[in-house]
Every structure is written in C-alpha cells, then in structure tokens.
Amino acid sequence: MLAAFLIGGVIPQGESPEAYQEMFGRIGGDWIMNLRLNNIFSSFWFLALMACGSLNILACTIKQWKALKLRPGIFLSHLGVMMMFMGGAVHGLFAVRGTLALEAGQTRGEFAGDDGTQKAMPFNVLLKNFQIRYWEQEKHIIYALKKWEGSGHDGEDLLESVQVEPGKVAHFKSVAADLTVIKFYPNFSIGDSGPVTMDESRQNPALAVKLTDSKTAKPSYLFANYPDFHGVQDMAGIRYVYEYNPGRIKQFESRIAVLEDGVEKMEKVISVNSPAGYKGYRFYQSGYDPKNPNFSSIQVAKDPSVAFIYAGFAVLMIGLTWALWKEMK
Amino acid sequence: MEFAQKASFVFYGAALAAALAGFLFNKEWKFKYSVLALWAGWVSSAIYISARWYWAGRAPMANMYESLVFLVWAFVGAYLLFRKFSGHSLDWLATWTALVAVLTLGGASFFDSDISPLMPALQSNWLFIHVSTVMAGYGALLLSFLGAAIFSLMDAARVEKKKSLEYLVYRSCLVGFWLLSLGIITGAVWANSAWGSYWSWDPKETWSLITWLYYAVAIHLRRTRGWKDKKFAILMLWGFALVMFTYFGVNYLMSGLHSYGKDY
C-alpha cells in the first residue's frame, strides 16, 4: 500500500497522455498509460489492495485478540482504521458527486456526475444570483511619464500616478492636464463596428481616453498588457501608461433555491466553506467563469459514507489518545 | 508586534550563546541560562503569534512564514515540556534546540511576512485547527529527529545521555504521530465542508498519508519487532525527511488543492 501511495504521490494523477509524455518522455508516458498509473487511486488493483489491507488489519486483530483486549487504546485505533476502510467501500458503492453548472435565473434537476453521466435529483435547484465580493475592488491607475531630456540616455521619469474611474475626468496636477476616461474594455478587441469587449474576463484590459485639450475627436486607447504599444502622448511630450489592478477576491456567493413541484422549499446563500444541504444532497460553491459574471459552478455531493468515516476518525483518535496516555505514563 | 518576533530570535540566539560560553569557560550554569533564554524566546514567540492573530483578524497560519514561526514555537514548546517531565536529564539538549530554532526562524525570514487577506478557501475556523495540529505534530517530530540525529552520532559510552535521548525520541514520535493523525483528520473534515470530499488524493493528502503510515510502521516495528535505540533513531531520521517533503517539497514541486501553500 505504501508503494502504491508513493507511486500515486510521485506521478501526477488524472493528466492527459500528452502531459505524461511531456513529463516522462514518450516511452515513460506510454508505460504510465498502459499500466494505468494515471488514475491509481480509482484503479481496480488499488481498490483490491485497500480491501486486502482492511482484511489484514482484521485478521491481525483477531489473531492478537488476547493481547489487544488488555490494550483497549490499541484495539480502538485499529478498529477506527477498519471503520474508515468500510467507509471507503460505502463511498465507492453509493457516493454520488458531480457539478451543477448554472447561470443566474436558471433551474436544473440534474447535474453532470464525475463519472461522465447525468445524475437526476428528486428536486430542482435554481440559481437566483451569483456575486463576487472583494477585499479590495479592481483599480485603474494611469501614470504620467516624461522622457529624459539631454542626458544622452533613454528613459522616463514618473511624474504622477492617478487612480481613475471610467466615465470621469482625471486631473494630473504635475502636468496641469485633464484626461477623460471614456470607457473600460475588460477584454479589448476590434469588432466589425470598431473597438469592443469580447467578454467580461480581464484578459486584455484597455481604457478609451481623451485628453481635454486634444484637437481630435477620436479617443485614444491605453492597454494594461501593452504599456509601450499605445501610450497617449500630449503636446508637452508626456506619455500616459495604464496599469490594471485586478483587486483581491474575498468570497464567491451563490444564492440558490430548492424547488419541489415548482414550490420553493429552501433558499440559502452558499459560499466557499459554507455549503447548503437538502435531502442528503450537499451543495458547495466551487467555481466561476471570469468571462461570465452570472455563471456559478456548484459541486453536488451525496455521500452516505461520511458517517462511517467520521465515526472511524472518532474511534481512531479515542484509541490513539488512550494508547498514548498509557505509553507516556 | 515585530519587536516580539525579534526578541524571540534574540532569546533563542542567547540560549545558544549561553551554552557555548558555558562550554568554553567550563561553567556549571551553562544549561540553566540556556533553558531560561529558551523559555523567554518561547514566551516572546507566543506573544508575537497572538499579536499577529489580533492584527490580522485571523489565525496566523495562512502562509509558509506563519506556519514556520508556529512550527518553531511548537518545537521549542515540545522540548521544554519533555525537559520538565524528564527530571532535567535533557537540559543539555537546550543548546541543540536553540540552534534548530535559530536556523529555522532564520529560514522563515526568507518568506514573505506581510499580512494579507485570506483567499476564500482559507476563510474557515478549520484553518487554525488543521494547520496548528499539523504544525505542532511536525514540531514534535522535529524534536524526535533532533534526538535521533544526536543519538546516532553519540559515543556508545555515554549510557545515561543515550537513555534520556531514547526516551525523548520515542515519546516525541508518539506525540507527533498523535498530532499528525489529528491534523490529517481535521484536514479531511475541513475538506468535506469546503469541497464536499473528505479525501481527494491530492498530492499533499497523499504524502501526508505516506508520512502517517511510515510513522505507524515505525511504531509497530518498535513495539512488535523490538526496533529500539539506533534502529529506531534511523527510522526517525528518514521519517523526518518525509515530513520535510510533505511540508516543502509538495508545495513547490507538485500542484493540487494545497497549491496556495507556496503562493502565500
């Protein structure tokens, strides 16, 4: 078992054949796939090994019963491990897990199981809304830079940095200039009718800006990913460069409701570390789509093995504590 | 707050210096002042951890720096506890404990010590329960490793010292194993409440299980096959190599559910 754990601990699990060939070479990658070392922990031989391990502990416990009944701590700790093996078997036979992908306003009565099949639930789940809360919101900062003059070297001095907001005018005191920030493009691209944002992901953040004293009516564009590509330059040789600060996410929150025959039976806001439960099913906040602010990915689990496993944990710890106490005396 | 951290480093350094000066000038007091300085360092460290907890508004267990500081605190605490129950026969180990504490705190200073807000996955009371039990377990296993390393190098003629070391190596292994068990269990309970799965065979979980099994086998070998003294010491040396890999190696060499360990 230790050897199996080591193999599974060294070889990354669940990767594609190409990824293994890249990591271990063509021959090594092929061997990993042929021996099914890419998914050790769900392979038949590993599960058989775990079953043998459980039987081994059981046999040892029976064989050593005379000695063990005088050492309840050691007996309980082994019993705890056996209960966990039993929990593992229950998990393998009866647990259901998968992902419920929803957009705000959408209702579903089934989810995509981890085994690739659709799993039906005896009720529907409605995503009322999804929101991301931030420790600090995203920021748009524009730097005013001036090229060195007469030094014989290339370089720029930072004159000022101003935090700006789309739709507002930013004032740069040091150069006595105003810059109107017309629009924010989260993922800038050129469409049929001009500049557009592809989606809400912040892959290519850009700002449409206009210098107040500029004679041209067309806006200029500042790109956070390409500060040297499109710096707006004013008459005095000041260059403006845009920095996008994505902010720091505090929490993902989905407000979900459970519906039975169209009647709302439960409503709860779930977030990471704060799931909801209904009729044995548990709902966990698990993902989001940066391109779609209304999308939420919810992990669904129905696992009757949890009770066995937790009971095993408790018995193991009681046993270990008892044994430790006796040993330390 | 930073003052308490610097004070703990200085006190651990003073513990080392006191013992070395005592050896150099052959003074009786060498271990007395060394142990006293270790106590002062441990208390300063406790103040620092508490203050950081207060200022951050969360348990200071969210990154490599914070976990290392807690590991040193647990390690020194484990030594002071064992010293108390060993009738002062382990006073001489204060020098080595101080050396490991100074080196580990020095190593911790290479990591980012800024207090930053927690990512969603870490916003749970389980953060403190899980990380503190695992780190306290690592602290006890580090003490077992230290004792085993000295035991392996010690002259066979030093019977009394070897006896006290043997006591320390085995019992700190037992305490470390108990805490590691609790740490893995609390991690599983937390994982079930955060992700809906108590075990995902993620690299950190797998290597924690390997480490746990290794120590379980070592304890069984000692109890049923009589692997004591040098044999058990060697087991503890290799065991701590596994602990180090689980703690550092997995964070930096593998990606998985615990990958934030290297970022924070």
3-state secondary structure B5-64: HHHHHHHHHHHHHHHHHHHHCCCCCHHHHHHHHHHHHHHHHHHHHHHHHHHHCCCCCCCH
Domains by residue range for chain A, with CATH: 2-94+306-328 (no CATH), 96-135+249-302 (2.60.98.10), 138-246 (no CATH)
The answer on pLDDT for B149 being more than 60 is yes
With residue A10 as reference, give the H or E element that holds it. helix A2-10
A321 interface with B at CB cutoff 8 Å: yes
Subunit contact A275:B193, Cβ cutoff 8 A? yes
CA–CA distance, B187 with B134 (Å, rounded to integer): 9
What pLDDT is stored for residue B264 in this prediction? 37
CA–CA distance, B243 with B212 (Å, rounded to integer): 9
Q: Assess contact for A135 and A244: CB atoms under 8 A.
A: no
As given in the structure block, the two tokens for residue B99 are 């050396």
CA–CA distance, A273 with B43 (Å, rounded to integer): 33
* Dihedral sign computed on CA atoms, order B233, B104, B177, A323: positive
- Residue A231: CB partners within 8 Å, gap ≥ 6? A145, A222, A239, A240, A241
Going by pLDDT thresholds of 50, 70 and 90, the confidence category of residue B196 is confident
Average pLDDT by stretches of 10, chain A with 329 residues: 87 85 88 86 86 90 85 92 92 91 95 91 96 90 83 77 92 86 92 87 90 75 83 72 90 95 94 94 92 92 94 97 89
B57 interface with A at CB cutoff 8 Å: no
- Percentage of chain B beyond pLDDT 90 is 63
The answer on pLDDT for B256 being more than 80 is no
- Residue A69: CB partners within 8 Å, gap ≥ 6? A75
Subunit contact A316:B181, Cβ cutoff 8 A? yes
The answer on pLDDT for B249 being more than 80 is yes
Q: Assess contact for A164 and A141: CB atoms under 8 A.
A: yes
What pLDDT is stored for residue B195 in this prediction? 87
- Residue A204: CB partners within 8 Å, gap ≥ 6? A185, A187, A188, A189, A198, A223, A224, A225
What pLDDT is stored for residue B261 in this prediction? 47
The answer on pLDDT for B156 being more than 80 is no
CA–CA distance, B104 with A216 (Å, rounded to integer): 62
Question: Strands of A156-164's sheet, edge to edge?
Answer: A156-164, A139-147, A238-245, A232-233
pTM over 0.90: no
Residue-wise pLDDT for B82-134, tens only, equals 998 887 788 889 999 999 999 999 999 999 888 888 888 888 999 999 999 99
Q: What is the DSSP code string of A193-251?
A: TEEEE-SSS-SB-EEEEEETT-S-SS-EEEESS-TTTS-EE-TTSEEEEEEEE--EEEE
Side chain identity at residue A256, one-letter code: I
Distance of CA B28 to the CA centre of its chain: 29
B248 interface with A at CB cutoff 8 Å: no
Residue A67: Cβ within 10 Å count:
10
Contact residues, chain A, for B195 at CB < 8 Å: 284, 286, 299
Nearest C-alpha in A relative to B168: A328
Residue A116 is classified by DSSP as S
Subunit contact B217:A2, Cβ cutoff 8 A? yes
Q: What is the mean pLDDT of residues B178-192?
A: 96
Side chain identity at residue A242, one-letter code: Y
What pLDDT is stored for residue B262 in this prediction? 45
What pLDDT is stored for residue B259 in this prediction? 53
Distance of CA A324 to the CA centre of its chain: 39
The answer on pLDDT for B27 being more than 80 is no
**Among A177-186, B19-28, B209-218, whose mean pLDDT is lowest?**
B19-28
CA–CA distance, A231 with A269 (Å, rounded to integer): 44
What pLDDT is stored for residue B263 in this prediction? 41
Contact residues, chain A, for B177 at CB < 8 Å: 320
As given in the structure block, the two tokens for residue B103 are 């080196």
Q: Which of B119, B185, B219 to mutate to test the interface with A (most CBs of A within 10 A)?
A: B185
ipTM of the complex: 0.90
In the stretch 263-302 of chain A, residues with CB closer than 8 A to chain B read: 271-273, 275, 282, 284, 286, 299-301
A325 interface with B at CB cutoff 8 Å: no
